């Protein structure tokens, strides 16, 4: 099993994280400060022998964006992380399993930056072929105005101000080209106002990037096709060195496929924009049903979907239904963002990578899932309580 070495004090204390995100450090901590994670054996970080060597994870990498930003085929959503020991353990387990993309909320980007800096000081960072973990931070642009005659507007200065504050709040992580800077704008959704504001947003991004306030790798949250096309056009040629649109974070799963219907998925593919899928287990519904091993009745459509997921997994080396459901996204060129704070679950993400469902399997699961989605009676009350769990 690949072993990831981490200087634990660097992870638990932000003050020790002094290494730049843009380069790997050659600084080595004392061997006594190193620990390793063994997720299959224990759920805690245990002491390692000083003579043990780090090993390179088995990466499964994909390119997103017009210039091919390399990330793992699966990312970890860390939006509810708070810096607890279990969060540290989950980060280490995920990196051990080959995960390189870590999606954050607007208020914890600095935390992930601390974890990445800790990795940069580890022996694992010096291994040939080691991939730097990439934090995807979230910048909320909330200063939306009202234009004359009605309707909403957003000025270039508001975008620059938001990115300035974001870069400060993340301790510079939001301005690093190692990761992605996601813009979260409240009025998106395909409206005329939202489309109209994309030129101002692009101008603000260009100014902020020139000042070193945001990454050149720009992502958006919840954009529809009209907004994507307008922003891509306003940003211009990605090869010019300015900000480039690399990703769009949306809700997408076997049981929630609205992005296929409204043209968002097609627009992303046409523009070369990577699709980062949140709520990959349909708000916890697939996980809850799989864990209880029942789908609300022997003859129910959900039960049939679970049986098919289990059958496909048995043909693919004993993958779990959850891993198959996640790979359904990966097989279509989508990067799923799995939300967990659990070390074992973070390690199990590895089982969803490194292989692909074939076209026949993807189509069979898609057809079965449509029947489930059309049957509202199979949506249990309170399932939203499981949202955010792996």
Residues with Cβ within 8 Å of 199's Cβ and at least 6 positions away in sequence, in order, are 230, 234
Name the β-bridge partners of 276: 249, 335
C-beta separation of 10 from 17 below 8 A: yes
CA distance to 16, 58, 320, 346, per residue, from 42 (Å): 27, 21, 20, 13
Over the stretch 15-61, which tens digit does the pLDDT of each residue have?
233 333 433 333 322 222 223 333 332 333 333 323 457 789 999 99
In angstroms, the CA 69 to CA 215 distance is 12
In angstroms, the CA 351 to CA 97 distance is 9
Average pLDDT over residues 228-249: 91
Looking up tokens 């949202």, which residue turns up?
387
Which pLDDT belongs to residue 9? Answer: 37
What is residue 256's DSSP assignment? Answer: B
pLDDT interval class at 193 (50, 70, 90):
confident
Which pLDDT belongs to residue 358? Answer: 97
Pick the range with the lowest mean pLDDT from 3-12, 116-125, 160-169: 3-12
102 Ramachandran zone, left/alpha/beta (phi>0; psi -120 to 50): beta
The yes-or-no verdict on residue 6 having pLDDT over 60 is no
Average pLDDT over residues 157-162: 93
Which pLDDT belongs to residue 277? Answer: 96
The yes-or-no verdict on residue 139 having pLDDT over 80 is yes
The yes-or-no verdict on residue 190 having pLDDT over 90 is no
Average pLDDT over residues 181-198: 80
Residues with Cβ within 8 Å of 138's Cβ and at least 6 positions away in sequence, in order, are 79, 103, 104, 105, 106, 109, 182, 184, 221
**Domain 5-386, CATH:** 3.20.20.100
Pick the range with the lowest mean pLDDT from 40-54, 124-138, 306-320, 327-341: 40-54
Mean pLDDT over all residues of the chain?
Answer: 79
Average pLDDT over residues 188-207: 85
Q: Minimal CA–CA distance to 24: which of 127, 136, 168, 93?
A: 127
Could you tell me which residue, 293 or 103, shows the higher pLDDT? 103
Q: Minimal CA–CA distance to 160: which of 200, 197, 205?
A: 205
Average pLDDT over residues 373-389: 41
Which pLDDT belongs to residue 42? Answer: 30
**Which element (helix H / strand E) includes 115?**
helix 109-120
Over the stretch 170-181, which tens digit does the pLDDT of each residue have?
888 877 888 999
User: Judging by DSSP bridges, how do beta strands 69-72 and 75-77 pair with one another?
Assistant: unpaired
User: Judging by DSSP bridges, how do beta strands 134-140 and 145-146 pair with one another?
Assistant: unpaired
Count the Cβ atoms, other than its own, within 10 Å of residue 181: 32
Which pLDDT belongs to residue 150? Answer: 60
Over the stretch 63-91, which tens digit does the pLDDT of each residue have?
999 889 999 999 999 999 999 999 999 99
Over the stretch 269-290, which tens digit does the pLDDT of each residue have?
999 999 999 988 765 555 555 5
How far is residue 267 CA from its own chain's centroid?
Answer: 20
Which pLDDT belongs to residue 298? Answer: 44
């Amino acid at each position: 099993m690949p072993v990831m070495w981490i200087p634990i004090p660097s992870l638990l204390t932000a003050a020790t994280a002094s290494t730049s995100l843009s380069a790997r450090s050659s600084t080595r901590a004392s061997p006594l400060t190193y620990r390793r994670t063994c997720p299959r054996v224990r759920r805690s970080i245990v002491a390692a022998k000083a003579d043990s060597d780090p090993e390179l994870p088995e990466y499964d990498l994909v390119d997103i964006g017009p210039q091919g930003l390399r990330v793992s085929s699966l990312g970890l959503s860390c939006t509810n992380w708070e810096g607890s020991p279990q969060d540290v353990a989950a980060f280490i387990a995920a990196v051990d399993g080959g995960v390189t993309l870590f999606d954050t909320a607007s208020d914890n980007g600095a935390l992930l930056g601390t974890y990445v800096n800790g990795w940069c000081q580890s022996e694992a960072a010096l291994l040939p072929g080691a991939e730097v973990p990439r934090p995807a931070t979230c910048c909320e642009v909330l200063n939306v105005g009202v234009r004359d005659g009605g309707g909403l507007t957003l000025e270039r200065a508001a975008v620059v101000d938001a990115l300035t504050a974001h870069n400060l709040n993340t301790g510079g992580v939001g301005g690093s080209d190692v990761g992605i800077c996601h813009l979260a704008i409240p009025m998106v959704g395909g409206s005329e106002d939202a489309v109209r504001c994309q030129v101002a947003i692009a101008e603000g991004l260009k100014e902020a990037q020139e000042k070193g306030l945001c990454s050149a790798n720009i992502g958006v949250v919840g954009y529809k096709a009209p907004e994507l096309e307008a922003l891509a056009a306003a940003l211009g040629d990605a090869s010019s060195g300015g900000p480039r649109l690399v990703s769009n974070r949306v809700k997408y799963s076997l049981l929630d496929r609205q992005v296929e219907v409204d043209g968002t998925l097609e627009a992303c593919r046409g523009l070369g924009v990577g699709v980062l899928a949140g709520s990959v287990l349909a708000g916890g519904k697939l996980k809850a049903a799989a864990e209880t091993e029942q789908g609300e009745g022997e003859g129910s459509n959900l039960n049939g979907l679970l049986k098919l997921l289990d059958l496909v997994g048995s043909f693919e080396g004993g993958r779990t239904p959850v891993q198959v459901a996640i790979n359904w996204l990966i097989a279509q060129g989508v990067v799923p963002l799995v939300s967990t704070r659990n070390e074992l679950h973070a390690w199990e993400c590895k089982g969803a990578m490194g292989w692909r469902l074939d076209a026949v399997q993807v189509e069979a699961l898609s057809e079965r899932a449509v029947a489930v989605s059309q049957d509202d009676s199979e949506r249990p009350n309170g399932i939203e309580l499981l949202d955010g769990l792996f």
